[in-house]
Amino acid sequence: MKEIAYAATAEVAEQMLSGWLILLCAFAYLGLLFAIAFYADMRSDAGRSIISNPYIYTLSIAVYCTAWTFYGSVGRAAGSGVGFLPIYLGPTLMACLWWFVLRKIVRISKVHRITSIADFIGSRYGKSALVGGVVTVIAVVGIMPYISLQLKAIAVSYNVLLTYPEIADNAATRAFYGDTALYVALALAAFTILFGTRHIDTTERHEGMVAAIAFESLIKLIAFLAVGLFVVFVLFSGPGDLFAKAADVPEVAGLFGFDAMPGSYASWLSLTFLAMMAIMFLPRQFQVLVVENVNETHIRKASWLFPLYLLLINLFVLPIAIAGLILFPQGSIDPDTFVLTLPMTGGAGSLALFAFIGGLSAATGMVIVATIAISTMVCNDLVIPFLLRMRLLHREDMSGLLLAIRRGAIIAILLLGYLYFQLIGESYALVTIGLVSFAAAAQFAPPILIGIYWKGASRAGAVAGLLGGFLVWAYTLVVPGFALSGWLPQAFLEQGLFGLSWLRPYQLLGLDLFDPITHAVFWSMLVNVGLLVGVSLFANQSAIERIQATLFVDVFRQGSQTRDSRIWESTSSVAEIREILARFIGAEQAAKAFEEFALAQGQTLKDEAQAESGLVEYAERQLAGAIGAASARVMMGTVVKGEELSIEEVMKILDETSQVLEYSRRLEQKSQELEAATGKLKAANERLKELDRLKDDFVSTVSHELRTPLTSIRAFSEILRDSPEMPTTQRQEFLDIIVKENERLTRLINEVLDLAKIESESVEWEMQSTDLREAIDEALIATQQLVAESGTELRKDMTNEAVQVNVDKDRVIQVVINLISNAVKFCDGDRGRIGVRVFPRDGMANVEVSDNGCGIALGEQERIFEKFHQVSDVQDGKPRGSGLGLPICRKIVEHHGGRIWVESELEQGSIFKFVLPLEGHA
Amino acid sequence: MSNGRNQERLIVLFLLGVLVLNYPLLHLFGTGSLWLGIPVLYLYLFICWLLIIVFLALLMEARRSGERDSLRRDRRGG
């Protein structure tokens, strides 16, 4: 194997890559990045964002693939076969859940103007500066190994390339590592400062940076694929050839199975878990996934495109690793550099340079995003709260100070990374260093994931969990690193702290089942989750904690309108509030923000007016965008002079906003129902009153009518009783009167009962097809005697055709009898003439009963059909009828769908007419 | 297609992914033998991975077209 390598290098010796050429390429590339970022920022300022699409979003997430992926995966694969894969399978699995989990986090962050992961966790636990600070410390310490990893990668790759065509091993290059790495660190710091801290923005979004890292993701993917294709198809003739050759080398063939994986399945599972958490909760992933997210619907496409990106960039990892192991003699070349050394072996110097640029992309992308994210956290969640509490902030313009703090933080972070690299870097491979950082980022998972689904998670629990998990992490992963590098005695690893064997950092409490990473993940997660849940179950939440918990957990239930949670009762003026804002984000931006608020609220803001709580809250959110939620809260708290509302009041406001609509909707419905019911009741009441009145009238009339005959019966009976010597003729006469009055009484009672029956509709009508002429003939026969006795003359005039109607025959006969007996009553004895006519016309059967009696005055003609209305006899004033006959007739006729009326003139007689619908015309 | 059903499908896809990419199913393919000249373990892992991505894409994009349909319906209705 060695021969191949040296033969190849000898061939291309004249293509040697000089240091200045590599540096030129590197700086040209960084210059290009800067141009892209500058262009994207310009477009963003012009309102035409180039990053607002799911593809750029996906590529920006691919900042996950760092130098670790680019160089370290191959190194890991060379040692453990598929052992590098969980780091990329985990994010794929997590992407299945992005639509629920990530979307919720993005929504919360947009509503609350979250600027970093520390801000998110701090804000969730009552806008707590303590929680934010703890998260920041963990992030800074935890990310240190990761940044040092990138520095190491750039330095090593530069040195490897520099010695081309001689393929340098580690030992040969170690001498000038340090300097290279330091220069790399400083160059990256300068570049990041130019990139990420040009101005303070209330949204804390960096469009230029996103565009640049998306471009970097594209470059590193293409570079890696190019190297992979070169190795498989140029150095070997396809994958079949490669694997066949590998199968001949026993130690390489061992990588084909799962047995090469150290720590076996437990390690596989814990690495998958770590990667699942890291893809969401590494500070830089949180930055690109959440803070830089333009539109939450981009998550949809990203959640399958990003796993696809991961698959592509990992496709050639194993072939490259195996090819390296075949071509280079065991141990002569660090597998972490195969991506560079293989193209060099094949004589492809320019491909090696391209691979170097790809690796540079991977490393710089990570460093830029991570340092920007962390510097924001350090500034917003560590330095500013501290300065606020120390009351050291009294300068007019704060935005300059903010920028200075961030720039300082960036330099400090990179130098710390360099320091870690110098102290520890040598003792670990790239991947192991990265995993230490992953395990630190995983500490953020419990407070976030539990915090956005469980309102009970409290600030005390979060602090306890974070600190506990962090300490376990540091003890089981970081401290041993110092021991391995010789800064601490080796015995510490083997015998534990103070020689206590249960404190051995790799076998805590004697647990020796796992590899160091799995071991650390297990214990730190157990402590973290256990403390978070356990302490929360017993801790009391303050008002602001409960408010924030509710706002976070129920974020999808709140419309954007209900965000007005009015937590401050302010006594400050509008001008004062604007001044605070101006101090941090500049007067111009502050004025603009206030204008927007006024526009949105549709009101003008007067400087001297008292700032309403909505405005204070708005200002606090703007401020949160610049200095973080916790700092903004403290800041507002010192200036606003207002009272914090009590928990009851705030909860009341929250409840109101969510329930008021529901209540009013229900109330409206109820009142409508009530109105309808009231209307019905009113109508029913009117009807009842009317019936009551009718009943009263009826009763009084009936009793009057009954009393008249009763009185006369009683009077004549008493006379008869008291005068036994009365002559027989007179006695006979009186008895006749009594009988007559009795008959009248009986008739009256019958009619009353009859009418009552008809009115209550309890009569059973026996409808049948009847020839009206027959019915009238029967009526005439029934009244024959009456007519004959009165001496009246009766004439009938009936058509020859049948007049068929569908009626209750007996009732119709009753009507006709009534009308004839009325006519007889009002006719003047012998001179009386009564006529009965029946004829059909216009689909109606017409019946007329005429007389030549005294007639009815016009005003009376309608009233005679009313109950108990009697036309008084002009001569003797005595009524001649019961007053119920005609009302009964009307009821009967109307029931059959007909009509009854009278035409009459005084002294000229009257004609009673009624019509019934003919059969077939009803 | 209802949103709720698709959410259930996503969760099941996640659980299936955890299942096929872990012990003991993984153990069946971890023997180190070759198939078509390529180690079976590599083939198995990358094919599972690809399948997860395909299903994820189908679920995500199907939901989108479903939403579009309902949007269109709304617009027509309104």
* DSSP string for residues in A531-566: HHHHHHHHPPPPHHHHHHHHHHHTGGGS-GGGG---
| pLDDT score at A852 | 85
Q: For residue B22, give the nearest of A95, A97, A265 by CB distance.
A: A265
Classified as helix, coil or strand, A417 is helix
Peptide bond into B24 cis (omega under 30): yes
Q: Are residues A233 and A313 in the same domain?
A: yes
CA A877 to chain centre: 87
Tell me the Ramachandran region of residue A857: left when phi exceeds 0, alpha when psi lies from -120 to 50, beta otherwise.
beta
Q: Which of B33, B45, B63 sits opposite A82 (nearest CB)?
A: B45
pLDDT on residue A663:
63
Q: What is the mean pLDDT of residues A587-610?
A: 77
Q: Which of A755, A786, A803 is the last residue of a domain?
A: A755
The rounded distance, in Å, linking the Cα atoms of A327 and A6 is 11
**Predicted confidence (pLDDT) per residue in A155-210, tens digit:** 888 888 877 556 555 444 444 444 677 777 888 888 888 777 766 665 567 888 88
Distance in angstroms (rounded) separating the CA atoms of residues A120 and A115: 7
CB contact under 8 A, B49 and A100: no
Looking at per-residue pLDDT, the higher value among A419 and A571 belongs to A419
Which residues, listed in sequence order, are joined to residue A905 by a DSSP beta bridge? A909
Token pair of A71 as six digits? 């160089």
The whole-angstrom separation of Cα A458 and Cα A124 is 9
Query: In this structure, what is the dihedral angle of CA atoms A767, A772, A774, A776, given to the nearest 10 degrees?
Result: 110
Distance from CA of B68 to the nearest CA of A (A): 13
Instruction: Assign residue A911 the CATH number of its domain.
Output: 3.30.565.10
* Same domain, yes or no: A314 and A364: yes
Return the number of other C-beta atoms located less than 10 Å from residue A733's C-beta. 12
| Radius of gyration in angstroms for the set of CA atoms belonging to chain B, rounded to a whole number | 18
Write down the pLDDT at residue A7: 40
The H-or-E segment that residue A913 falls in is strand A909-917
Q: C-alpha dihedral over A541, A546, A548, A549, to 10 degrees?
A: 90
Instruction: Enumerate the residues of chain A whose CB falls inside 8 A of the CB of residue B49.
Output: 89, 92, 307, 311
Residues A602 and A711 placed together within one structural domain of the fold: no
Asked if the C-beta of A256 comes within 8 angstroms of chain B's C-beta atoms, the answer is yes
A208 and A83 share a domain? yes
> pLDDT tens across A372-408, in order?
889 888 888 888 888 877 766 665 567 778 888 888 8
Q: Within an 8 Å CB–CB cutoff, is residue A312 touching chain B?
A: no
Q: Do B46 and A311 touch (CB under 8 A)?
A: yes
CA distance A209 to A95: 23
What's the average model confidence in pLDDT over A21-35?
A: 86
Same domain, A489 and A519: yes
- Position A878 scores a pLDDT of 46
Residue from the list B34, B41, B61 with its beta carbon closest to the beta carbon of A258? B41
Is the Cβ pair A99, B10 closer than 8 Å? yes
Nearest one of A569, A570, A574, A580 to A609, comparing CA atoms:
A574
Which residues in chain A are contacts of B22 at CB distance < 8 A?
265, 268-269, 272
Same domain (yes/no): A579, A713: no
| Interface contact flag, A272 B22, Cβ < 8 Å | yes
- Which of the listed residues A700, A724, A755 is the one where a domain comes to its end? A755
Separation between Cα atoms, residue A453 and residue A456, nearest integer Å: 9
Residue B15 confidence class, pLDDT cut points 50, 70, 90: very high
Residues of chain B positioned with their CB less than 8 A from the CB of A99? 7, 10, 60
Mean residue pLDDT across chain B: 77
Q: What is the domain extent for residue A515?
A: 2-538
B19, B21, B33, B67: best mutation site toward chain A, by most A Cβ within 10 Å? B21
Tally the domains of chain B.
1
Using CA atoms in the order A130, A132, A135, A141, what is the torsion angle rounded to 10 degrees? -90
Say if residue A536 is exposed, middle or buried (CB neighbours under 10 Å; 0-12, 13-18, 19+).
buried
Q: Looking at the predicted structure, is the pLDDT value of residue A472 above 70? A: yes
Residues A36 and A80 in one domain: yes
Q: Please check the confidence at residue B14 and state whether its pLDDT lies above 70.
A: yes
The alpha-carbon gap from A300 to the nearest alpha carbon of chain B, in Å, equals 6
How far apart CA A165 and CA A417 sit, in angstroms, is 30
**A191 vs A823: CA distance, rounded Å:** 123
- CA–centroid distance for A578 within its chain: 33
| Cβ within 8 Å, pair A85-B45 | yes
Phi, psi values for residue A430, rounded to 5° = -55, -50
How far apart CA A801 and CA A182 sit, in angstroms, is 129
pLDDT of A9 over the 50 cut: no
B44 to chain A, any CB pair closer than 8 A? The answer is: no
Instruction: Tell me how far apart the alpha carbons of residues A477 and A274 are, in angstroms, rounded to a whole number.
Output: 14
Asked if the peptide bond before residue A165 counts as cis, ω within 30 degrees of 0, the response is yes
Query: Which positions in chain B touch A306 (Cβ < 8 Å)?
Result: none
Mean pLDDT taken over chain A: 80
Angle at A762 between CA A758 and CA A767, to 5 degrees: 80
User: CA A919, CA B16: separation in Å to the nearest integer?
Assistant: 81
Residues A102-130 have pLDDT tens digits of 999 998 888 888 888 998 999 899 888 88
Residues A714, A796 within the same domain: no
A512-558 tens-digit pLDDT: 777 888 889 999 999 999 999 999 998 888 877 887 888 888 888 76
More confident call, A215 vs A638? A215
pTM above 0.90, yes or no: no
Helices and strands in chain B: count of H runs, count of E runs: 3, 2
The SS3 of residue A901 is: strand
Question: Within this chain, do residues A160 and A305 fall inside the same structural domain, yes or no?
Answer: yes
A249 interfacial to chain B (CB closer than 8 Å):
no
The parent domain of residue B36 ranges over 3-77
Residue A557 covered by a domain: no
Q: Are A779 and A817 in contact (CB under 8 A)?
A: yes
Same domain, A680 and A626: no
Chain A residue with minimum CA distance to B4: A100
Residue A654, in any domain of the structure = no
Please identify, among A755, A774, A805, the residue that sits at the C-terminal boundary of a domain.
A755
According to DSSP, residue A610 is labeled B
Q: How many CA atoms lie within 13 A of A876 on its CB side?
A: 3
For residue B78, the model assigns a pLDDT of 34
Query: CA-based Rg of chain A, rounded to a whole angstrom?
Result: 53
The set of residues, in sequence order, having a beta carbon less than 8 Å from that of A365 and lying 6+ positions away, is A63, A66, A212, A213, A216, A217, A220
- Residue A172 covered by a domain: yes
Confidence of residue B40 (pLDDT cuts 50, 70, 90): confident
| Half-sphere exposure (Cβ direction) of A694: Cα atoms closer than 13 Å | 10
Same domain, A421 and A272: yes
Q: What is the pLDDT of residue A782?
A: 83
> Shortest CB distance from A268 goes to which of B22, B31, B49?
B22
Q: What is d(CA A32, CA A518) in angstroms, rounded to the nearest whole number?
A: 41
Probe site for chain A from B36, B60, B64 (most A CB atoms < 10 A): B60
Chain segment A612-669, per-residue pLDDT in tens? 767 777 887 777 777 777 777 767 766 665 455 555 555 555 555 555 556 666 777 8
Closest residue on chain A to B17 (Cα): A93
Length of chain A: 922
Mean pLDDT of A92-108: 91
- Positive or negative, the CA dihedral A634, A640, A641, A642 is negative
Q: Which stretch of DSSP H or E encloses residue A902?
A: strand A899-905
Q: Which residue in the block uniquely carries the two structure tokens 């992926």? A: A69
Q: CB contact, 8 Å: B5 with chain A?
A: no
A578 is written with which tokens?
């604007």
Same-domain status, A705 and A810:
no
- Say if CB A156 and CB A337 are below 8 A apart: yes
Q: Which of A58-62, A114-118, A445-449 has the lowest mean pLDDT?
A: A114-118
Q: Pick from A257, A301, A303: which is nearest to B31 by CB? A: A257
Please count the structural domains in chain A. Answer: 4
| Cβ atoms within 10 Å, residue B14 | 20
The token pair at A82 is 């598929």
Residue A258 to chain B, least CA–CA distance (Å): 5
